[in-house]
Amino acid sequence: MAVASLIVAIIIIVLLLSIAVRLRLRPVSKSSTAKPEAYYDLSETDKYPHKWGYADTQFEFDDPRSVKVTGNRYPISGFRMPHLVPFVEEMLGFSIHPEDMVEGNQTHNIPTPHIEDNFFQAVETQFKPEQFSINEKDRLIHSHGQLSVGEIYRILYGASLERVVDLVFFPESEEDVKAIIKLANKHNVCLIPYGGGTNVSGALAIPTEEERMVVSVDMQRMNRILWIDKENFQACIEAGIRGKQLEKLLSEEGYTSGHDPDSIEFSTLGGWIATNASGMKKNKYGNIEDIVIEATLVTPTGNIETKCITPRSSTGIRPQVFLFGSEGNLGIITKAIIKIHLEPEVRKFGSLVFPNFEYGVRFLKDLRQNGTLPASIRLVNNNEFRFGQALKPNPTFWKRITGDFLKFFLFRLKGFQPLEMVACTALTEGTTEEVNQQEKNLIRIAKKHQGISGGASNGKRGYSLAFGIAYIRDFFGQFNILGETFETSVPWNKVLQVCQSVKQELEEQAKNYHIPGDPYLSYRVTQTYHTGVCIYFTMAFYTKGLEDPDKIYHQIEHRLRQVILDNGGSLSHHHGIGKIRQDFLPQVHTGNSFQVLHQSKKAMDPNNVFGIRNGVFYEPSETS
């Protein structure tokens, strides 16, 4: 008996030590002199023409009850996920089988391009043949963003888009941009700036009433770093550079921009400015308006830019304000001068678990007011926490034993409830000293709110999952499940109220529209501020048997946005307005504000060359 007891005691000690190691925040880099590893794959390959992401990556069944992700690009790639399909079935109340996969459109009804002959002849004369295209594939790709329940749904499963661009133009310099704008202004042609095509606001949808020739101006060949000023921590960069390209090039020089949106692999610097974007590491580096020192907007009447670059200036009303959130309505952003930072010596991931969402929100508020903030910290609700758990493979023997002990510790000893507990993922980066101090603050403040460390590996995995969400969305779209995200910002005292109100309204709308099964709603706090937070919602439901399911989805989502506004939330935090939020704007801006913005556009673009009509500019133009 004594020997057996000793063996059991040794096993318990080993397991407890294993758990203790797992529960620590630990550095990803092995030393302060080594560069922290990237948390997304830096390699390039072909992209899907319409769906999200790289063509080497997709979810697929590897048996009737299990899925896997092809390739090795993301942390969720390369292993079987036996828990994902059962989790989705549980959430939605419907079974999912490989044979139920909906066959997508094999062809697309793309209209013949409407060509303005004089304009086209001038383009042929002034530019190289590889700088413009009227190819049907190119035109369709440049006629939509990534609004899955809308543009992507119609392309993959529904009717064709009502309007597509007539020509795609690829400028290679700012002089090319000025030249194409001059030609469009002269020949009454509509131009639409195009970055990475990642927006989810319908911003790239061509107005159906637009009768002019429409040209998409794809900026992605303008992707160079023009100069780096290492002494003053600045860099001048062309607007067509994608986030991943930018970080790779800056890293070669020992720097980072710090801007890290979920779409960093595909979105562009110009797109970030045009949508007034935010990134996951906002706490350390700021939102895009904090990162950009100056930028150049080329309009039909000339450039909007500042001649002298200083850390800050008080020179009256700055025309630069028109760039942020411009959404392609005013001109083309060609370059920007941004702040750059030395790459961090060390990067640490961590995770925390809390008994419920309210405890997690209290922790974030306390941390914001009394702690040293990590570069990123994100709180997910129970549904999203369990969704992340469902993306894991079956555990190995030792991981299963360790996991059982962790569950015993959380559920039996600490009193956590499986259907209430939530999780935070944290990313700290900087010098070893400041990262260690941030780690101590996190643990110290978390303990005040019954938080328990969940380990570095869970933190890194949770942080990296953001890059795989859209692939999951597109996979389940093949099985009559529509899902999309929407976001808002709210004051601290309205966080729980907004989340609960959206949940209740979704349940009511699901009944009104006779949604089969149960709707799915998850939410997470992705950014915190002194006065409040950004909340990021994900909504999905099963649509088989519904007539016009994409329209029903948007009608429900439209109602949820109104509920958010009614309960003190903003219309958008970082996605922008585009076209799907336009009719809410009278609740946001005064009539005189509309007039000021319209008059400003007339000053920059009197002939409405940039006629995409996003945001406040949705009124039919006189040239149509």
**Sign of torsion, CA 245 350 575 136?**
positive
Residues forming a β-bridge with 427: 349, 376
Q: How far is CA 308 from CA 106, 292, 568, in A?
A: 53, 14, 40
CA–CA distance, 184 with 604 (Å, rounded to integer): 14
Radius of gyration of the chain (CA): 25
Amino acid at 317: I
Q: Count H helices, E strands: the chain?
A: 19, 22
Q: Is 536 among the catalytic positions?
A: yes
Rounded Cα distance, 381 and 379, in Å: 7
**Residue in the block written with tokens 């089969």:** 516
Question: Mind giving me the DSSP string for 386-412?
Answer: HHHHHTSPPPPHHHHHHHHHHHIIIII
* Sign of the torsion angle spanned by Cα atoms 596, 598, 604, 607: negative
Q: Which residue of the set 153, 359, 463, 536 is catalytic?
A: 536
Query: Which amino acid type is present at position 426?
Result: A
Q: Is 308 exposed, middle or buried (0-12, 13-18, 19+ CB in 10 A)?
A: exposed
Q: Is 618 exposed, middle or buried (CB count within 10 Å of its CB: 0-12, 13-18, 19+)?
A: middle
**What separation in angstroms does the CA of 396 have from each of 392, 393, 399?**
11, 9, 5
Kindly state the tokens that stand for 133.
């295209």
DSSP characters over 503-568: HHHHHHHHHHTT-SS--EEEEEEEEE-SSEEEEEEEEEEE-TT-SSHHHHHHHHHHHHHHHHHHTT
Active-site residues, by number, are: 536
